[in-house]
Structure 1
């Protein structure tokens, strides 16, 4: 966020698809970085040369939720919206935070951030961006009535003020270690206030679109089919791109169809393809791949507020019943690693690494042990088993995970029905405050290069509300206290100590089974250059740097 064997994949890979618009064409280029696919050598006459212009066709796994950045919070919506609207700050190669629409930020005390807004920036219609646009955008996303998916990032904000013609002052209720990252996400995106007010009824929808300062502008959107962006001629940042004339996003849920499009050249870019097909892509002569470690976790979450999943021994029993390593060995192979119970993979040990590594080795592993699973269930409120449902979508890795879980608990007397829904419905129900499911199979990636980027949104009880991302409906006052306290600190060592305490409590409570941590994967035609994937690609306006080669 993956799948079946490869036996028939190569037989169908050469079939062309009339449903896809023709993509860019050109000679293969030298790869700029990442892991190369077969045949990524330079042209015989020397290194390929980049050219301005052209169209790239980009495959999306799911339909875009909205063009409104307040609702840009998934792996299909982000790569579109981030090209149109931009944040005050931005992530540099998935690590540090650097200025963007704000030319600088001052932090005179732990609760105050003063953003100096960049002058001379215009929206794609040529109208100037002002401080009023910035404040309007932040306040709108912050407003609970908006029910923004990233509204939780403003929960510690006391007030947002205009401090000068080109300055915005954000005052926090208390110090917040993660606020430094928030303005580099879609929570910090700026839209045109005038455009929003003129299109309030349909803003973010196909007939309303959106208006931002990004390198590309919105043109059209045929839901379920394609979404088109064109180069923004008024883009403020004159360093480098945008180079492309147009980006055509194709909604293609079926993995094999995306692979076939790459083979025929009708698709030029595709993110996070099905695991079993990544090996096929790596052997294509006309395609190169870029991989990176990720902050991603594939997980199973129990609804801890619904019987019998409110019983910790039931959750622990199921955790022991599932052979996670078998899933990783058979499906993920070298494209990721097995998880544990808390989604803090090695890639997220971005500070105090030794402490995180030691703690990770000490937390309960819930290793595959059928006898232990049976013992725990016998000690639970449902010793002879029960019936329940697993909610997931048609993604084959998630479906295979659901099937593996269904089979694993059968010997315990637990009968789990699989409820398959669309990716859009899965997101809607997972984010909805009602949490209308027993068990959900989903994935999640930290918004920040910080362990708190997983722990706070996923396990703080306040995030069980509508729009919150506490998928397990998990509520532990002691965990809340530790997570709140670490968030008020800036000392990495002290924050780490508190988060590790919370991590151990969460692991003992077993609200999640973390199945795996997959690597990020980007497939590109060999004449597409300019970008290599990193852990936070979903917040980046990376198409600005993408170019074609001759």
Structure 2
């Protein structure tokens, strides 16, 4: 539904009231003036379990769009898929990469990657994985009929061929610095070639299902309710065999209901609990909240460059009108930090100290200054023009960011409309151009799948699938393409720092803040690593009884 347009003063008051109400909805308290921001420590890994579980129940804030790895592009999809389908490589908690379904990966020439395929790996139907399955799985990303959301990861791929009984060679048209790392995520998932052919158009949905190699096997998908899995006893990685006999994902779109289910023990755990409920959850004595490495930045995506936000000066004015420090307190209860970058600091670990400093320390800051921002709006001749902010009822942060952005826009002379859609409709915004029509801004918690900022920068090149606002800058494209073709780490990150600076100047997306990965587990379970790698690593297999 859409909110009405208010005059500047009344909308500011309404937004402030909405912030306070949202913060108290889950029992949290609104931030007090001068309050000290909460402190937290990152946990690398929780205590090892001492026993098995008959059943592990987990919450999802939305139903997966698909379990077809070609379309798994969001948090619900990938946190489920990671436990039943595996990739050629594994993404570790520190964002490094190690062998997975490939025991070895080599780069004999700048344009060649050779993968040795693990032997004696079984799919859930009992058939044996081979090089033909790897070729068929990877080639789907190149098939226009499939329309893979991960096509950009394969943009430089010339061929994917079986070069021996258990060897696959990927050849690129030019050096590609992040292709190999990308195969530790959804782009590298391996499915049975025979099953892909048999399932056809139903592959990955509630009717067709999947048939992969992971520690859990899909047994039932009740659309809108839950997905049920059983432990796969034929799993190849016996050291990481599942501790739970059954795994159930319950779709719970209401954040209040999720928190109550955590406290009551109805649900054992969940990723991304509402930040404003962290104090309440910790105080409940029913379990613990953990914080871990994240690769995400919370941003506002400009999806319509035909409206007023097509002007970079207007985008700057809007960012200056948002009190991002206050937003961290109101939207995330202080469990975040304001940023001017579209990439998280965690994905710059391979860069030298000077490059990291340049990537973040040399960025232009856009301080909170309503008066200066309003002046820009007048000078650009867009006063009174309307923007639509699309959001969904998926957590306190969504509501607060939408209200705060609307209030900020109105405060500098723009008009603002908030369009609230269902969680599933919100997910569709990131895959369907038709769904984005009529929307100017979308709030996103955009994570990277690898430990390299180039994944972020590559999607904002002209014409990329995830370049939702059709941002186009020749100098930017040139810089990113050069970085992607640079295999020397230091030189590549230096070019990435330049790309980050261009984004900081043009603001195709408006960076707001960074948050840690947040995990809730009740006091009956343990074992998970609270890292963003849970989107591509079989994390649920690690969890067992305390």
- Regarding TM over 0.5, the answer is yes
For the residue of structure 1 that corresponds to 2:299, the secondary structure is strand
* Partner in structure 2 of residue 338 of structure 1: 338
Alignment of 1:347 with 2:328, yes or no, is: no
For the residue of structure 1 that corresponds to 2:513, the secondary structure is strand
Cα deviation code 1:119-177 (max 9, x no counterpart): 10110111111111111011012322211222221111110011001100000111111
Query: RMSD of aligned C-alpha atoms?
Result: 2.1
For the residue of structure 1 that corresponds to 2:76, the secondary structure is coil
- Match 2:487 to one of 486, 490, 497: 490
* Partner in structure 1 of residue 449 of structure 2: 447
Alignment of 1:500 with 2:497, yes or no, is: yes
For the residue of structure 1 that corresponds to 2:494, the secondary structure is helix
Q: Unaligned 5+ residue runs, structure 1?
A: 12-32, 41-46
Cα deviation code 1:247-269 (max 9, x no counterpart): 01100011121111111111001
- Match 2:541 to one of 529, 533, 544: 544
* Partner in structure 1 of residue 12 of structure 2: none
| More deviation, 324-333/130-139 | 324-333
* Partner in structure 2 of residue 34 of structure 1: 43
* Partner in structure 2 of residue 511 of structure 1: 508
After superposition, where does 1:59-98 map in structure 2 within 5 Å?
59-98=59-98
Number of equivalent positions: 511
* Partner in structure 2 of residue 27 of structure 1: none
Distance 1:35 1:6 in 2: 29
Distance 1:147 1:153 in 2: 13
Cα deviation for residue 9 of structure 1 reads 4.0
After superposition, where does 1:47-58 map in structure 2 within 5 Å?
50-58=50-58
Cα deviation for residue 6 of structure 1 reads 5.5
For the residue of structure 2 that corresponds to 1:147, the secondary structure is coil
Distance 1:99 1:500 in 2: 29
Does the CA contact (< 8 Å) of 2:26 and 2:276 recur in 1?
no
Cα deviation code 1:423-469 (max 9, x no counterpart): 22222223334542212222201111111122212x21131xxxx22
Cα deviation code 1:297-347 (max 9, x no counterpart): 11112235312222122111111111111111233244111122x312322
* Partner in structure 2 of residue 387 of structure 1: 386
* Partner in structure 2 of residue 165 of structure 1: 165
Distance 2:140 2:187 in 1: 10
Q: Unaligned 5+ residue runs, structure 2?
A: 1-18, 29-41
* Partner in structure 2 of residue 478 of structure 1: 475
Distance 2:179 2:48 in 1: 42
The TM-score with structure 1 as length reference comes to 0.89
Which portions of structure 1, spanning 4 or more consecutive aligned residues, are displaced by more than 6 angstroms? none
Cα deviation for residue 35 of structure 1 reads 9.1
Does the CA contact (< 8 Å) of 2:329 and 2:335 recur in 1?
no
Does the CA contact (< 8 Å) of 1:3 and 1:276 recur in 2?
no
After superposition, where does 1:388-407 map in structure 2 within 5 Å?
388-395=387-394, 396-407=396-407
After superposition, where does 1:144-543 map in structure 2 within 5 Å?
144-303=144-303, 305-340=305-340, 342-350=341-349, 351-382=351-382, 384-395=383-394, 396-433=396-433, 435-436=436-437, 437-457=439-459, 459-463=460-464, 468-543=465-540
